[in-house]
Structure 1
Amino acid sequence: MEAIILQMIEAFKELSYLGIMLSLTFEFIPAELVLPLAGYWVYEGDMNLYGAIFAGSVGGVLGPLTLYALGRYGGRAAIIKFGKYCFIKEEHIAKSDQFFVKYGGSVAFLGRFIPGVRTAVSIPCGMAKMNVWKFIFYTYIAMLPVTAVYVYLGYALGTQWEQAGEIFSQYANYLLIPIVLFIVWMVVKRRKMNLQQ
């Protein structure tokens, strides 16, 4: 399966930065493969590092946006029916629902860092009819640092780009905890300000 996905990604390479965006639009193509490979293309001199990071971040929003639309316009029945094509199971949706109830709109950001929630988290955002621009903003600022790290690792590792996922998983908490804490602090501060008004 991974070999087929890699062939698809290589085909998308012909479209340059647009290819990176499009490959990430399909939720069944793992970003953990696409982004380090994009970094390797930077290493080879086929792309610019910042261009690849930007394209990866935009693509990282397009995929969740399709699930957001499915949740918003299709409802739970459509998600259960079509979610399997994106490898989304009913238990993923249930976990994401609970997470959304607990954290509200900020789930579009925070959920990107939680295993078992990150893929399906867009669905309850759509079902709750969360403002689409707010959803895009939260998703983009969540995807930007993750994308930057993966692409840079692929670039730095060069021909060993396939090791990027393993390295990222070892240090992910150290990289992401400060970002998550900062956003949580912002959300808490904003809620306090709203209560005082």
Structure 2
Amino acid sequence: MTQWITEFILFFKDLSYAGIVLALSFEFVPAELVLPLAGYWVYLGDMKLILTILAGTLGGTFGPLTLYALGRYGGRPAIDKYGKYFFIRPHHLEASDRFFEKYGNGVAFYGRFIPGVRTLISIPCGIAKMNVFAFSLYTFLAMLPITSIYVYLGFKLGAQWEHVDQILKPYIIPAGTLFLVGFGLYVLSKRMRRRQA
């Protein structure tokens, strides 16, 4: 599967930065594979680092809009019917629903840092008819640091770009937990201020 996806991504390389945007616009193509490979292309001198990060961030913003639209215009019945074509399993969607109900619109940002939630969180945002501009902005702001890290590590590792995921894996869950705790404290402090007011 990884080899097939890599060949699929290489097909878009001829389109340069637009190819990165397009490749990431398909939600079934993992950013964890595209972005380090794009970093390797920067290492080879085929692309510029800043423009590659920008292209990756834009693609990482456009991709979730497809699932957002599926949730917004198709609702839960469409997800149940067509979700399998996006590799969506019922238990993944239930976890995303609970996460959205607990934390609200901010999950469009914080949810991107939580493994197992970051891709599917777009669906409950769409079902809840969250403002599409706010959704896109939160997604862009979350994807910018994620994209920067993956592309930069792919650039630094050069021909060893495939090992980026192994380097980041031990830090993903602690970082996601830290973001979740921080967001929880923010929500709690906001509610306390409202009660005091």
Q: Who is 1:122 aligned against? A: 122
Q: Kindly provide the amino acid, as one letter, of the partner of residue 124 in structure 1.
A: P
Cα gap change, 1:133/1:195 in structure 2, threshold over 3 Å: closer, same or farther? farther
Identity across matched positions, percent: 57
Residue 183 to residue 15, structure 1, CA distance change in 2 (3 Å): farther
**Which ranges in structure 1 are unaligned for 5 or more consecutive residues?**
none
Q: How does 1:40-119 map to 2 (within 5 A)?
A: 40-119=40-119
Instruction: Give matches, 1:164-175, under 5 Å.
Output: 164-172=164-172
Alpha-carbon distance between aligned partners in 1 of 2:58 and 2:192, rounded to the nearest angstrom? 32
Q: Which residue of the partner structure matches residue 145 of structure 1?
A: 145
The residue matched to 1:47 in structure 2 has which SS? Answer: coil
Task: Give the superposed CA RMSD.
Answer: 1.9
Which whole-Å CA distance do the structure 2 matches of 1:146 and 1:20 have between them?
15
Q: In structure 2, give the amino acid aligned to 1:137.
A: L
> 1:162 corresponds to which residue?
162
Distance 1:167 1:74, change over 3 A: same
Letter in 1 for 2:44: E
CA deviation digits over 1:120-176, x for unaligned, max 9?
110000000001111111111111111100000000000000001111112335666
CA drift of 1:80 comes to 1.3
Aligned equivalents of 2:187, 2:57: Cα separation in 1: 22
**Matches of 2:20 and 2:76, distance apart in 1:** 30
**What corresponds to 2:24 in structure 1?**
24
Structure-1 separation of matches of 2:16 and 2:156: 20
How many corresponding residue pairs? 197
User: Aligned letter for 1:47?
Assistant: M
Q: CA deviation at 1:116?
A: 2.1
- CA gap of 1:118–1:184, structure 2 versus 1, over 3 A, is same
How far off its partner does 1:186 sit? 5.0
Task: Return the offset for 1:179.
Answer: 5.5
Distance in 2 (alpha carbons) for counterparts of 1:44 and 1:78: 43
Distance 1:54 1:177, change over 3 A: farther
Partner of 2:39: 39
Q: Secondary structure at the match of 1:154?
A: helix
Q: Tell me the CA shift for residue 69 of structure 1.
A: 0.4
Does the Cα contact within 8 Å between 1:106 and 1:187 map onto a contact in 2?
no
Over 3 Å counting, the alpha-carbon distance change for 1:147 and 1:176 in structure 2 is: farther
Output the amino acid matched with 2:148.
A
TM-score by length of 1: 0.91
Distance 1:188-1:54 versus aligned 2 partners, 3 A rule: farther
Distance 1:73 1:187, change over 3 A: same
Relative to structure 1, the CA distance from residue 48 to residue 196 in structure 2 (aligned partners, 3 Å threshold; closer, same or farther) is: farther
